[in-house]
Amino acid sequence: MDFRRYPESNFCSTPIKIGSLFPIVVLLSLLSTLSESNQVGDGVTIIDATGKYVMPGGIDPHTHLAMEFMGTETIDDFFSGQAAALAGGTTMHIDFVIPVNGNLTAGFEAYVEKAKISAMDYGFHMAITKWDEAVSKDMEVMVKDKGINSFKFFMAYKGSLMINDDLLLEGFKKCKSLGALAMVHAENGDAVFEGQKRMIELGIMGPEGHALSRPPQLEGEATGRAIRLAGFVNTPLYVVHVMSIDAMEEVAKARKSGQKVIGEPVVSGLVLDDTVLWDSDFQTAAKFVMSPPIRAPGHGKALQAALSNGVLQLVGTDHCTFNSTQKSLGIDDFRKIPNGVNGLEERMHLVWDTMVVSGQISVTDFVRMTSTECARIFNIYPRKGAILVGSDADIIILNPNSSFEICSKSHHSRSDTNVYEGRKGKGKVEVTIAGGRVVWENDELKAVPGRGKYVKMRPFNYLFDGIEKADAEYLSSLRAPVIRRTMHVAA
């Protein structure tokens, strides 16, 4: 299934609405345009896409597979997580490499090993958890040799992943020099730590304590601080999992001023609210614990509106799954509940049902938010995020009239719970084609370990356009240094 030899006019990065048979592999040209004398070659798969949308496969910019965290490891590895993704119409994801004791090279090598069982294409971001000359040099290696063009800085998780403002500034400067995108998990980790102590002193030990200890203003403060520091350095910034109105408004203000800031909501923040954290059953409540927390009613609707009007740009999942046994590690102390929820399989369906069916966004917007914009931001467009000559054959067929229902008993994640349990909606991915192979059709998954490929991502994406000019304008505006005459003091 290689489309590289066919006319570009038949391909696009927007959805194609089909009213007749749609032959995959031959060019995606319509069978109805072929005369009776035309022959379809051997080995060609023909799929009926009548009345359905054909679009680029989804790209999830934010996942954590096989991640060691909070004394355990995420239940989904690079095969089960990707199997779930393929069943939901996502054909590529970008995972976060966590350094080994701060060592970037060791972390990268560990994740290369973990990803050998991949069933679909993937890329890597890199987390920065400490700062020294070795880390600085390794960042250069990651960008120039390993295909990593983004680095994440945790402003939360004090005592483990969290970094301070000094490191943040050093990291931002290094990212700028390398043409790599700086990313932040924006919560005030010091204040969160204080909030956790406050909840414990009040005797609040359950999952509700998680949300109460890290309220929206702490996310807003850290988001604003990171944006201002990135502006000071003059480097683009990507804010992961924007979960609150407070954080979204900081992104909106920065973008209105012309600063290059990307805001990424995740599907859990768009469609869920925190009332579930007060459920009387611990297992029910604990499965919703993630950071930043799922917010009170009202935040999700505001994030949807921000997504529809362009304040926020694309949708991820922060897929970071732990089963009920793992979540029980914090049964007596919410601080020990592993943070994370699912979403790789559900993202495309929920965004379609929540945003397209409701009329908040167009079908073209849907493609941009779930695929194309991610490819552009991480500099892999048009190889990914498009159906064009030279693009990879990652394609989905979505039936807008078909219904879906989410159930932990039938999903493809290894988790025994699902935060979207029982949710029903319109718009179902009926066919997924990854790398030219049909891997999801008729509710049957044909994922094969080892077929996925690592996708290297180049530095200096479009967000870096104009950075040098802005730096020059800044320097010219300083009106400094001033040449001053030496004063002679009389003896």
Domain membership of residue 249 as a residue range:
57-393+401-422+452-464
pLDDT value at residue 238: 99
Which parts of the chain register pLDDT below 50?
A: 1-12, 18-38
Q: Cα separation of 162 and 78, whole Å?
A: 25
Q: Cα separation of 54 and 468, whole Å?
A: 40
Q: Cα separation of 314 and 198, whole Å?
A: 35
Domain membership of residue 330 (yes or no) is: yes
Report cis status (omega within 30 of 0) of the bond before 23: no
Q: Cα separation of 316 and 264, whole Å?
A: 7
Residue 374 makes CB contacts below 8 A (sequence gap 6+) with 59, 60, 61, 94, 314, 384, 385
Report cis status (omega within 30 of 0) of the bond before 7: no
Which runs of E-coded beta strand occur in 113-257?
Answer: 121-128, 150-154, 181-185, 237-239
pLDDT value at residue 485: 87
Report cis status (omega within 30 of 0) of the bond before 292: yes
Q: At which residue do the structure tokens 């069933």 appear?
A: 119
Specify the CATH number for the domain of residue 227: 3.20.20.140
Domain membership of residue 2 (yes or no) is: no
Domain membership of residue 194 (yes or no) is: yes
**pLDDT (tens digit per residue) in 222-275:** 999 999 999 999 999 999 999 999 999 999 999 999 999 999 999 999 999 999
Domain membership of residue 164 (yes or no) is: yes
Domain membership of residue 441 (yes or no) is: no
Instruction: With H, G, I as helix, E, B as strand and everything else as coil, classify residue 319.
Output: strand
pLDDT value at residue 44: 78
Domain membership of residue 407 (yes or no) is: yes
pLDDT value at residue 254: 98
pTM, 2 dp = 0.92
Domain membership of residue 139 (yes or no) is: yes
Domain membership of residue 112 (yes or no) is: yes
pLDDT value at residue 249: 98
pLDDT value at residue 486: 81
Distance of CA 200 to the CA centre of its chain: 32
pLDDT value at residue 220: 98
Strands 181-185 and 150-154: parallel
**pLDDT (tens digit per residue) in 435-444:** 999 999 999 9
Q: At which residue do the structure tokens 């040099």 appear?
A: 137
Please count the structural domains in the chain: 1
